[in-house]
A and B are shown apart, each in its own frame.
Chain A
Amino acid sequence: MRRVSLNARTAFDAATTSEVEVVLFQFEHSALPAPIRISTDPTVRLSADPLMYGTRSTWLGSNPTTEPFLFVLASAELPGDQEDAPPAAQLVLENVDNRIADQLRSVVRRATVHMAVVLASSPNDVEVEYRNLKLISSEGDAGEITLQVSRQPIEEEVVPMDRFTRDRFPGLHR
């Protein structure tokens, strides 16, 4: 069962509310020296030089002081529950730097993505969480880059798992 805090439930139902919902992302990949942590809300100013905003949260054991979730110009869509389709999330990044495309093209294996929704007033309490998703595809143009995040495609699994060799299934080869 999903546990949602009472404050969040009150805010969902209220006609007017001051609560801000924040989506936190954590990207993990063996090619990354440290996980990439991003947030969709400029909750606090992290530093003036360079000018950076972000959300300080203890989600997934990150240290709020040294490992904040950095604010990016992005819009996020949470995994839906459509029929006949795996739950897929979308993250639209502003294409502010060519190095974003370089980074996305440089990897072969899929990155692992964790997503969580928190309230900006209580960034340590996770309201909704999606863990161990995969970064499936990324496409973009000069303006923005769209990242598709979903589960590992089951179509890629080999069926049947075993090969029917003489060693493994001697009865077949009598």
Chain B
Amino acid sequence: MSVLTWPSSLPRPLRSGYQAQNADPRLRKQADAGPPGFRRRYSSVARGLSLSVVLSRSEKAQFDRFYEQDARHGSLPFWMPDPVTDGWPMLTESGAYVLTESGQPILLSKQLLCLFGDEPPVETIQGMSFTIGFSVWVMP
């Protein structure tokens, strides 16, 4: 069995619904008074991503099939392109594109090993398209 891959035909996530937060690997030292202190509890830290995508009716069917059948209602891990890195052009320090010899911008590439997040995906309808909000855990 191989690890699943995020359907490449689905569109990129929206900027508006994007949110990322690391899991907290710390142990808090609670005191009656004074500043707080922290220690580490474990090494590898997962990262939570909230994403939303706008899908047509046929793309929604692909998403549902991936979530319900391929990922077994979100219990299996899958590879997903990093929404804030993969496909973004590589820039120099001053913000100019790094180009190939033929003048094409060089794009970054990064795959994340993900699990679906704590809440199942939420879908809403708007006109003829569906907005699906879902969260994933990026595995360390």
Measured CB to CB, the residues of A under 8 A from B are 15-20, 22, 41-45, 48-49, 51, 53, 120
Partner pick for A16 among B37, B41, B42, CB 8 A cutoff:
B37
Query: Do A41 and B139 touch (CB < 8 A)?
Result: no
Query: Do B139 and A51 touch (CB < 8 A)?
Result: yes
Minimum-distance CB pairs A-B, first 9: A42-B44, A20-B40, A43-B43, A120-B43, A49-B3, A20-B43, A51-B77, A41-B42, A41-B43
Nearest CB of chain A from residue B138's CB, rounded to whole Å: 12
Cα A5 to Cα B40 in complex, Å, equals: 18
Nearest CB of chain B from residue A24's CB, rounded to whole Å: 13
Partner pick for B42 among A20, A45, A49, A51, CB 8 A cutoff:
A20
Q: Determine the interface band of chain B, counting residues with CB < 8 A from chain A.
A: 10 to 19
Number of A-B contacts (CB under 8 A): 39
B1-20 near A? 1/0 per residue, CB < 8 Å: 11100000000000000000
CB under 8 Å from chain A, chain B span 32-60: 37-44
Partner pick for B44 among A17, A18, A53, CB 8 A cutoff:
A53
In the complex, whether B140 has a CB less than 8 A from a CB of chain A is: yes
Query: Do B77 and A17 touch (CB < 8 A)?
Result: no
Query: Do B44 and A51 touch (CB < 8 A)?
Result: no
Q: Which residue of B has the minimal Cβ distance to A42?
A: B44
Query: Do B37 and A43 touch (CB < 8 A)?
Result: no
Q: Which residue of B has the minimal Cβ distance to A22?
A: B43
Query: Do B37 and A15 touch (CB < 8 A)?
Result: yes
Cα A146 to Cα B3 in complex, Å, equals: 33
In the complex, whether B113 has a CB less than 8 A from a CB of chain A is: yes
Q: Which residue of B has the minimal Cβ distance to A51?
A: B77
Instruction: Give chain A residues whose Cβ lies under 8 Å from the Cβ of B77.
Output: 48, 51
Partner pick for A19 among B1, B40, B113, CB 8 A cutoff:
B40
Cα A44 to Cα B1 in complex, Å, equals: 22
Q: Which residue of A has the minimal Cβ distance to B46?
A: A42
**Centre residue among B3, B40, B43, B139 by max chain A CB count within 10 A:** B43
Query: Do A16 and B39 touch (CB < 8 A)?
Result: yes
**Centre residue among B1, B2, B42, B140 by max chain A CB count within 10 A:** B42
Instruction: Give chain A residues whose Cβ lies under 8 Å from the Cβ of B38.
Output: 16
Nearest CB of chain A from residue B99's CB, rounded to whole Å: 33
Cα A18 to Cα B2 in complex, Å, equals: 35
